[in-house]
Amino acid sequence: MTLRPFHLAIAVDDLKRAEAFYGGLIGCPQGRRSEHWIDFNFFGHQLVTHLSPEDCAQAATNDVDGKNVPVRHFGVVLEKNDWQALAKKLTEAGVEFIIEPGVRFEGKPGEQGTFFLKDPAGNALEFKYFHDDAQIFAT
């Protein structure tokens, strides 16, 4: 099966702030838009930010490798160099991370670099790379 882009629609409370975050800070090219939503090219995937302030809520957390990981989150697996460049860009921009850039499951199956942050509406995002992509689904 050929991997195809996913489509994800999320709630945001302010389209201008979503545009500044996803388009400006993260660097996602913008696609179609209306007064109620904006499409972004999220690393080759279709991310749609829908204006729906009443649906923006904080996610509960679970312990994963000693960190409080937001249960409801989404993200992308990047190449290590791209992950490092994005982590540096966000750090230099003064972004407040939920979980700072670092490596988890070190020396174990699924070893990965990861960091978490929130968009302005409170949606949690995870950016990661795997030491070995063959272990993305390791058990």
pLDDT per residue over 31-79, tens digit each?
999 999 999 999 999 999 999 999 998 878 898 878 888 899 999 999 9
Strand partners, 118: 124
| Sequence spans of domains, the chain | 7-51, 61-135
**Could you tell me if 64 and 108 are in contact, meaning their C-beta atoms sit under 8 angstroms apart?**
no
Alpha helices (H) along 4-124 = 15-18, 80-92
* 43 Cβ neighbours under 8 A, 6+ residues apart: 28, 76, 78
* 66 Cβ neighbours under 8 A, 6+ residues apart: none
Overall fold of domain 61-135: 2,3-Dihydroxybiphenyl 1,2-Dioxygenase; domain 1 (3.10.180)
pTM above 0.85, yes or no: yes
